[in-house]
Amino acid sequence: MRENNHLPLHTCRVIEPAATINRLQILLHLCAASAVLYYHASRLFVTIHHNPFSLTSVSLLFIFLADVVLFFMWVLSQGFRYRPVSRSVFPERLPDDGLLPPVDIFIMTADPNKEPTIKVMNTVLSVMALDYPPEKLHIYLSDDAGADVTLRAAKEAYSFGRSWVPFCRRFAVGVRCPEVFFDDDLENDRQESKKEFVQEKQKIKVMYDTFKEKVMKLKEVKDSTKGFQKTRLDHPSEIEITRDTAEGDSTSREDLSIPSLVYVSREKRKGVPHHFKAGALNVLLRVSSVITNSPYILVLDCDMYSNDPSSTRQAMCFHLDSKLSPYLAFVQFPQEFYNISKNDIYCGELRQLFKTFWVGLDGLRGPVLSGTNFFVKRRALYGAKPGERSNREEFNAGDISRLKDKFGNSNEFCLSLVGKKSYDFDERIATYVKSQKENILILASCEYEDDTQWGEQIGFLYGSVVEDYFTGFHLHCRGWISTYCFPSKPAFRGNVPINFNDTLIQTKRWSTGLFEVALSKHCPLTFGLSKNFSSVLQSMCYAWQAFRPVYSFPLLCYGTLPQLCFLNGISLFPEVTSPWFGAFAFVFFSVCIQHLREVFLSGHNFITWCNEQRFWMIIGLTGQLFAVVNVFLKLIGIGAVNFDLTDKTTNEAQIKRYENGVFDFEGCSLMLLPATTLSLLNMGALIGGAWQMIKFNAINNLFAQLFLSCFILLLSLPLIEGITYRRDTGRVPSRVTIWSLVLSGLIIFMFS
Ligand SMILES: O=c1ccn([C@@H]2O[C@H](COP(=O)(O)OP(=O)(O)O[C@H]3O[C@H](CO)[C@@H](O)[C@H](O)[C@H]3O)[C@@H](O)[C@H]2O)c(=O)[nH]1
Ligand SMILES: [Mn+2]
């Protein structure tokens, strides 16, 4: 809160009645779920006693284990539901511009073939035009490919920025990403009446088109000179600073000046681990600390642009709150997307995370670090502890050699930790860039981190491919908190994969990274609780995420055993007329209703609910299942975990299928096999079993299994369509179809 006028910079309230309803539901659900587990256990006990190796015993055993896993996951997920909050910010109450702190902006790109250069430049331009004093913003573009095209395009972008940024300021443009702006009718309608605006806009549009053309040409030149793949994984470090040299008297300079742009490509050598995005982020941390050393950092992926120029000021409402600030590591904004179709079949919006779970975490000790769209405090990343200590105390000034053991062998870097260096950019440039460029390049070299604590205690951590989750988790464990800033106008927007294969690859990477953490010594349930017992609920939430891939186990069990038993007339669940049935029904509907309530609360409809249920099932049997296998393989020493980049390029046919809500399985590997096999198995068993059920009039016994199979059939319709009658290129690949027909046929044959 601000002391001078007592008006708070932000407010926070618990979302009611949702919180109270959640807590009541937790109680009721707990009772019903205990009854279900008790029923299973007692029946299992009796059956195993009679005949331990029968299909019934084995099925009962696995269904019991599946229920234990589901119950465990349900318990963990209640952490998110206990205290959801909502926050508001008041940027107009911030101190004058002169008192605002500088911010370094990190933009990450890794491969111009998968990440179109023009999109990356749009991200750069969108933040260049943030509504914040330009001399206090410094943009760092990390290019992991070391691609010439990116460097040259960045320079072109900068010179276009000299016109673009003043234009945005002059007309208070709402969305400052050029590509979006020229497409946005709303923005244009708003200002169309101003003649001046129309004229200027036309001029700028011509400039933008020229800029775009130049970038395309750069790419063509690059494509014609092969050999790019070689340099992507093997190249020296390179740093280039492009800065504002606007001339004129001080007032016009003020209007025209734009943030500086630093291009950084770290050294990469074959065989030397580069730790993917976390490695690139750490290089940027070091390089920026000897150039600008701003106390706050905004991290953005190249597929995210700034959609609201006031985001930095919004974040400062938290960072400049004197009570909160000593403990606040980062302010997270949600990831929102511009290319989500109306019927978001791949659940790319990540609604559950960003609209429900992070809101719940915000009421505890704050949301999980989400990779992009966050403003983090530099000190927190350097291993500092929360509290009011100064850098000098924290980093033990005077003893540079001790610092070097931790932070590596650079005087400049260690001095930046303790020194009260000014933030004067010009001065820094004069000192470092002209005379000591070599000293900066070393910070971006392969060997710099050898025998240091980078990636282990300091910077972004290397223990997992979900560096964001892992790093945020450690910050929380060290006692830092975070806040969630979720304004109604999206602050940043990005794009999501629009075909199933890309979604699958992405989910598999996330699940692998998360599950790696679950099985490591940093498991949130042990490490998390031992470090920060004050927030059991938050550790539960971290654990829920890390263990999430184990949903694949109950999905596998529930996708095979009840069906095979149904086929054989074996009942696994209580009769409809038994009171126990009530407990089962309650648990099922309680989960469904809780989910539905959350979907409605976040402004979505029943279709979203269906999509999320379906996606949960399919991804559990594909991406998450393979992630679990992957992690086990890595544990026993075979296989490695990689950061497979998501492809940001698209083609017309794909876009069309996505817009029409038709699943696009093009390019899917055998990873799809468990899901397709089980959906066929379910359908076969449903038909065969229903016939028997009618014949023997066993509906009372088998109703639960009949219901389950029908439910699964509905959820797996896109798979079945993709296998059976679809003929377009987006159908399930023939290889997968043939294998799943063979496998499901074989299983049914063996068990009927
Ligand atoms: O070696 C690498 C790999 C990736 N990246 C960059 O990392 C970002 C994220 O990569 P992307 O392919 O877009 O992955 P997503 O699955 O979309 O990323 C999500 O998941 C990641 C963790 O797996 C987080 O880091 C991201 O912020 C989060 O948006 C992009 O800007 C890449 O250029 C690098 O800089 N170096
Ligand atoms: Mn991305």
Q: Range with the lowest mean pLDDT among 307-321, 367-381, 425-439, 595-609?
A: 425-439
* pTM for this prediction: 0.94
Which ligand 1 atom lies nearest to the CA of residue 304?
31
Our answer to whether residue 144 is catalytic in this structure is yes
pLDDT of res. 249: 46
Our answer to whether residue 184 is catalytic in this structure is no
pLDDT of 438 above 90:
no
Which ligand is located closest to the Cα atom of residue 470?
1
**Could you tell me how far CA 593 lies from the centroid of its own chain?**
26
Q: At what angle do helices 195-224 and 117-128 cross, to 10 degrees?
A: 140
The residue segments making up the domain with residue 611 are 18-82+533-639+651-751
**Dihedral sign, Cα of residue 427, residue 429, residue 430, residue 431:** positive
Distance CA 75, CA 224 (A): 56
277 appears as a binding residue in the annotation: yes
544 part of a folded domain: yes
Higher pLDDT, 438 or 172: 172
Q: Which of 645, 646, 649 for mutating ligand 1's site (highest number of atoms within 8 Å of CB)? A: 645
Q: How many helices (H) and strands (E) does the chain have?
A: 32, 13
Give ∠ CA 341-344-348 in degrees, rounded to 5: 105
Same domain, yes or no: 404 and 457: yes
- Number of independent structural domains in the chain: 2
pLDDT of res. 223: 59
Question: Quick one: tokens of 150?
Answer: 């990116």
Range picked from 39-53, 75-89, 419-433 for highest mean pLDDT: 75-89
pLDDT of res. 227: 52
List the residue whose alpha carbon is closest to atom 23 of ligand 1: 466
Which ligand is located closest to the Cα atom of residue 627?
1
Give ipTM to 2 decimals: 0.99
292 part of a folded domain: yes
**Three-state DSSP class for 207?**
helix
Gyration radius of the chain over CA positions: 28
**Could you tell me how far CA 457 lies from the centroid of its own chain?**
22
List CB contacts of 8: < 8 A, sequence separation 6 or more.
1, 2, 90, 93, 321
Same domain, yes or no: 263 and 383: yes
pLDDT of res. 49: 87
Residue 303 C-alpha to ligand 2 middle, in angstroms? 6
Which ligand 1 atom lies nearest to the CA of residue 509?
23
Give ∠ CA 403-404-407 in degrees, rounded to 5: 80
List the residue whose alpha carbon is closest to atom 13 of ligand 1: 646
Same domain, yes or no: 704 and 737: yes
Backbone angles phi, psi at 293, to 5 degrees: 50, 40
Active-site pick, 104, 144, 344, 647: 144
pLDDT of 696 above 70:
yes
Question: Is the bond preceding residue 17 a cis peptide, omega within 30 degrees?
Answer: yes
Backbone angles phi, psi at 450, to 5 degrees: -55, 135
Distance CA 30, CA 476 (A): 28
593 part of a folded domain: yes
Nearest partner of 216 among 305, 128, 149, judged by Cα:
149
Residue 237 C-alpha to ligand 2 middle, in angstroms? 24
pLDDT of 6 above 80:
no
List pLDDT tens digits, range 126-146. 999 999 999 999 999 999 999
Which ligand is located closest to the Cα atom of residue 350?
1
**Could you tell me how far CA 149 lies from the centroid of its own chain?**
27
Which ligand 1 atom lies nearest to the CA of residue 510?
23
Same domain, yes or no: 451 and 563: no
Distance CA 476, CA 424 (A): 32
Distance CA 605, CA 696 (A): 41
Residue 744 C-alpha to ligand 2 middle, in angstroms? 35
Q: Which of 106, 117, 264, 301 for mutating ligand 1's site (highest number of atoms within 8 Å of CB)? A: 301
pLDDT of 263 above 90:
yes
List the residue whose alpha carbon is closest to atom 19 of ligand 1: 371
List the residue whose alpha carbon is closest to atom 36 of ligand 1: 277
pLDDT of res. 534: 76
List the residue whose alpha carbon is closest to atom 15 of ligand 1: 646
The CATH number of residue 462's host domain is: 3.90.550.10
Same domain, yes or no: 120 and 249: yes
List pLDDT tens digits, range 621-638. 999 999 999 999 998 888
pLDDT of 30 above 70:
yes
Rounded to a whole number of angstroms, the distance between the first and last alpha carbons of the chain is 69
Per DSSP bridges, beta strands 296-301 and 374-377 are: antiparallel
167 part of a folded domain: yes
Residue 280 C-alpha to ligand 1 middle, in angstroms? 11
pLDDT of res. 1: 42
Of 451, 481, 496, the position where a domain reaches its end is 496
Looking at the DSSP bridge assignments, the partners of residue 110 are none
Same domain, yes or no: 51 and 153: no
pLDDT > 70: percent of the chain: 93
Residue 237 C-alpha to ligand 1 middle, in angstroms? 20
131 appears as a binding residue in the annotation: no
The stretch 710-726 carries a mean pLDDT of 95
Label residue 253 by pLDDT band (50, 70, 90): low
Nearest partner of 98 among 48, 136, 151, 140, judged by Cα:
136
List CB contacts of 90: < 8 A, sequence separation 6 or more.
7, 8, 9, 10, 317
Same domain, yes or no: 621 and 711: yes
Q: Which of 122, 272, 277, 373 for mutating ligand 1's site (highest number of atoms within 8 Å of CB)? A: 277
pLDDT of res. 586: 96
Nearest partner of 542 among 622, 450, 455, 469, judged by Cα:
469
Nearest partner of 568 among 724, 685, 469, 655, judged by Cα:
685
686 part of a folded domain: yes
List CB-based neighbours of ion ligand 2 within 5 Å. Answer: 301, 303
145 part of a folded domain: yes
Same domain, yes or no: 566 and 706: yes
Same domain, yes or no: 414 and 278: yes
- As a three-state string, the secondary structure of 422-457 is CCCHHHHHHHHHHHHHHHHHHHCCCHHHCCCCECCC
Same domain, yes or no: 53 and 130: no
Which ligand is located closest to the Cα atom of residue 494?
2
Label residue 2 by pLDDT band (50, 70, 90): very low
pLDDT > 90: percent of the chain: 78
Residue 141 C-alpha to ligand 1 middle, in angstroms? 14
Which ligand is located closest to the Cα atom of residue 232?
1
What letter would DSSP give residue 80?
Answer: G
List the residue whose alpha carbon is closest to atom 5 of ligand 1: 277
Residue 90 C-alpha to ligand 1 middle, in angstroms? 31
Label residue 603 by pLDDT band (50, 70, 90): very high
List pLDDT tens digits, range 376-421. 999 999 999 998 777 777 777 667 888 899 999 988 898 888 865 5
pLDDT of res. 51: 86
Other beta carbons within 10 angstroms of residue 483's beta carbon come to 26
Same domain, yes or no: 147 and 196: yes
What letter would DSSP give residue 79?
Answer: G
pLDDT of res. 3: 45
Of 446, 468, 496, the position where a domain reaches its end is 496
521 part of a folded domain: no
List the residue whose alpha carbon is closest to atom 29 of ligand 1: 371
Other beta carbons within 10 angstroms of residue 627's beta carbon come to 26
Of 447, 469, 496, the position where a domain reaches its end is 496
Give ∠ CA 570-743-503 in degrees, rounded to 5: 105
Same domain, yes or no: 330 and 433: yes
List the residue whose alpha carbon is closest to atom 22 of ligand 1: 466
What is the rounded average pLDDT for all residues in the chain? 91
Q: Which of 105, 108, 144 for mutating ligand 1's site (highest number of atoms within 8 Å of CB)? A: 108
**Dihedral sign, Cα of residue 320, residue 322, residue 323, residue 327:** positive
Active-site pick, 67, 131, 468, 664: 468
Residue 277 C-alpha to ligand 1 middle, in angstroms? 6
What residues does ligand 1 touch, defined as CB less than 6 Å away? 108-110, 115, 142, 144, 276-277, 280, 301-303, 371-372, 465-468, 506, 509-510, 513, 643, 645-646
**Could you tell me how far CA 660 lies from the centroid of its own chain?**
25
504 part of a folded domain: no
